[in-house]
Amino acid sequence: MPDWSYHVLFKPWLKKLSTKASREFIHKNMNRIASLPGGSGFIHFLGREEISDRLHTSINGLPFSGPVGLAGKMDPQLSGTKAFSQLGFGFIEIGPVTLEEERRPLYPKRTLANRTIAFPARGESIGLQKTLDHLVRDNISQPLLFHLKGSQEEIMHLADQLQPYEGFYSISYQQMKNELHPTDLMLLNEYKPLYVRVPSHLVEDVQLEDELKWLSGIILEEQAGEDTVINKENHKHSLKKYPGLHKITVGGIREPADAIELLDEGADLLLLSSEYIDTGPGLPKRIYEALIDEKGERGIPDTGWNWYFLFGLSILLGGLLALMFSLTSVILPYDEHFLGMTREELLLFNERMIWFMKHDRMTLAGTMISGGFIYMMLAGFGVRHGLRWARQAIDFAAITGFAGILFFIGYGYFDWLHLVFWLVLLPMYMTGAIQSRGLKETPSSPNRKNSRAWKLGVYGQFCLVVLGFAFVLGGIIISVIGVSSVFIPTDIQYLCMPPDMIQAFNERLIPVVAHDRAGFGSALISVGSLVLMAALWGFHEGKRWLWWMYLIGGIPAFAAGIFVHIMIGYTTFIHLLPAYIALGLYGSGLILSFSYLTKR
C-alpha cells in the first residue's frame, strides 16, 4: 500500500470509519496479501521498500537494515505485522506484551485538530500466547523490540518465553523502579539487550545510577496529546542526557526532515507513531532516500548502460523506419509475397483494408519510438548511476518484448524483417544485461517536507501508475484479440465487410492483420511495463529527467495512435475512448507531478 494508493484510494474513506475498524480492515487485508504465495514479491513490486546497504548498522550486536521502526501501539493486535515487515522497517516493536489478554481494551481515538491519533495510556494487549502464535506464523526477519509489562514474576516469565526471538527488551521506568530488583535487571540483560522507557518531557526527573550497568539504552517516549513539533523538541532536548546509552525515540516524525533532525541530535533508532497514519506508508522509504541523499553519491563502476542506450536507440530508429513505411506504401514486398497478391489488387478488393493496416502499423511505430526513448532515458539516468530498479525495469520490458515474437509464430505469419530486427537487438541487450548485473544502488531524494508539491506529486504518480497498468492490460487484450478473433465489432463496421468475406477472398490476409495486431499488443505490454515501473520505482523529488521522459516519450505514441484514426476516418467514439482516457491520465500525471519532479 504505497503512498499513491493510500492517499488517493484508501485514506479518504478509511477516515470515515472508527479508528479500530479502519486499522483492522487495512492491517488484516495487507497481511492476507503478504501471506499469499508471491505476496511479498507483489508488495515489493508496488512499493520497492528495499534499504541501501549504506544504512545497515549494528547496535548491541543486532543487525539493523535501517534505523526506522514501527511503534507497537500502531499494531497492538499484530494483525498486520507480517505485512509491515515488508514495508521497509528496520525493526518492529511488539507490545505491550502482557501475560494475559486485555479483556476490555481502550481503543485509540482520532484527534482531528492536529491530525494525530490519541492512544490510550493503558494500551491494548493480546496476551503472551497469541503473541507467540503470531511470531511463529509471521516469521519476521527484522529484530523485534518487546515491550514487557506486568508484575516482577510476569515480566521474568515473559522474557523467558520470548528469548528465542531475535531482538531486545524494554520496560517502563516506573516498573523498573517499583517491580524489579538489580538481579532481575541483570538476568533480563543476559537474555537480551535491555532498554528503559522514559517519557521525553520527564527525562529530567529520571535517576539512573545503579541500573546503568544493566541497561543497553533508553527509549524516549512521546508525550500523550502533544503534536509532532512538541514531541520532536522534547526528544532533541532529552537526547543530550545519558551519553553512554543507545537511544530510541518514539513519535515526533511527520516528514523526513524530522527524522534527520533526531538522528543528527544523537538518536540511534526511530519508532514511527501516530504521524505515520497521516503521512502514509511511504514515510520509511522517504526517510531512507533522504539519508542516502545526505551521504552523497558514491563512485559507480562501469555499468554497461551504453549498451542499454544503444538497445533503446535501435528500437527508436526501427520505429521511425516503421513510421515511414506506414505513411507510404504500408504493404511491403514480403507482405505481397506472402499474400500472393499486389497492393493494387488489395486496393481493388477493399481500399479500407489498406487503411486499416496503416492504422495498426502506425500505432506500432509510435509505440516503438516512445519505448525506444524511454529505454534510452532509463539507461542514461538510471543504469548509468547504478540504480537497480532502472536495470530491472529495462530487463523485464525487454524480455517481454522479445517474447512477443511467439505471437507471430503462433498465427502463421512471421516476416524476415522482424527476425533481423530481433537478432540485431538481442546482442545489445545481452551485453548490457551482463555488464550491469551487479547493480545494487537504491534511489536518493532531496525530499524532506510534506509539501504541497509532494502531495500533488502523489496524485500525479497515481495517474501515471494507472496509465502504466492500463497500457499493460490494453496490450494483453490486443494480443489476445490478435491471436483469436482478430477483429472487434467496430473494426468490422469500419471495413464494411465480415471476416468470412475477407477469408474467402484471401485466406492469408487475416493472418497478416493478426500479425500486426499481435506485434502492437506485445510492444504495448513492453512499453506499458516501462511506464508502470518508472512510475512505481523512480518517482522522486527533483528527478527532472523522469518528467521529461514521460512528456517527450508519450508524444509519439499518442500522436501516432490518435492522428492515424483521424487520417483514415476511423473515429468511432467507443473505439477511441481508451485512448482518450489514457491521454487524460497522461496529461493529469504530468501536470500534477510537474512541481515535485522538476523542483531544483
Tell me the per-residue pLDDT of 173-204, one tens digit each, with 9 for 90 and over: 888 888 888 888 888 888 899 999 999 888 88
C-alpha cell at 455: 502531495
Please name the residue that has the C-alpha cell 514480403: 334
Cα separation, 308 vs 326, in Å, equals: 27
Pairing state of beta strands 194-199 and 217-221?
A: parallel
Lowest mean pLDDT among 142-151, 310-319, 436-445, 522-531: 436-445
Q: What's residue 107's pLDDT?
A: 63
- Whether 511 has a pLDDT exceeding 90, the answer reads no
Percentage of the residues of the chain whose pLDDT score is greater than 90: 51
pLDDT at 278 (0 to 100) = 86
pLDDT digits (tens, 9 = 90+) for 513-532: 888 888 888 899 999 999 99
pLDDT at 109: 67
On the question of pLDDT at 114 being above 70, the answer is no
The whole-number average pLDDT for the span 91-117 is 74
- Give the side-chain half-sphere CA count within 13 A for 478: 27
> Residue 199's beta-bridge partner residues?
221
DSSP states of 446-492? ---S--HHHHHHHHHHHHHHHHHHHHHHHHHHHHHHHTTT---HHHH
User: Do 366 and 323 form a contact (C-beta atoms < 8 A)?
Assistant: yes
| pLDDT value for 481 | 86
Distance of alpha carbon 253 from alpha carbon 260, whole angstroms: 9
Mean pLDDT of 359-388: 93
288-311 average pLDDT score: 85
Of residues 328 and 408, more confidently modeled: 328
* CA 517/CA 514 separation, integer angstroms: 5
At residue 21 the predicted structure's pLDDT band, cuts being 50, 70 and 90, is confident
- pLDDT, residue 206, reads 79
What pLDDT, on a 0 to 100 scale, did the predictor assign at position 241?
A: 86
Which residues in 75-115 belong to E strands, given as ranges?
91-97, 109-111
pLDDT at 113: 53
CA 118 to the chain's CA centroid: 29
Pairing of strands 246-250, 91-97: unpaired
Give the residue with greater pLDDT, 547 vs 34.
Answer: 547
Mean pLDDT over 549-555 rounds to: 96
Q: For residues 335 and 275, is the Cβ–Cβ distance under 8 A?
A: no
Q: What value does the mean pLDDT take over residues 217-241?
A: 88
- pLDDT digit string, tens, across residues 153-179: 999 999 999 999 999 999 998 888 888
| Structure letter (DSSP) for residue 222 | P
Which whole number is the average pLDDT over 48-67? 90
Band (pLDDT 50/70/90 cuts) for residue 301 is: low
Sort 181 into a burial class: Cβ within 10 Å, 0-12 / 13-18 / 19+.
exposed
Q: Which residues contact 167 (CB under 8 A, 6 or more apart)?
A: 62, 91, 94, 143, 144, 145, 146, 192
Give the pLDDT score at 408: 62
**Residue 248, SS3?**
strand
What H or E segment, with its residue span, contains residue 194?
A: strand 194-199
Average pLDDT of the chain is 88
Of 417, 414, 323, nearest in space to 367 by CA? 323
Q: Provide mean pLDDT across the span 340-358.
A: 90
Q: Terminus-to-terminus CA distance in the chain, angstroms?
A: 28
pLDDT of residue 210 exceeding 80, the answer is no
What residues does each domain of the chain span? Answer: 3-295, 305-439+450-598
What would the grid cell of residue 484 be?
A: 483469436
Alpha helix ranges (H) inside 36-126: 39-47, 81-84
Which of 50-54, 430-434, 457-461, 551-555 shows the lowest per-residue confidence on average (mean pLDDT)?
A: 50-54
pLDDT reading at 262 higher than 80: yes
| Whether pLDDT at 410 is above 60 | no
pLDDT of residue 89: 92
Fold for 3-295, please state it: TIM Barrel (3.20.20)
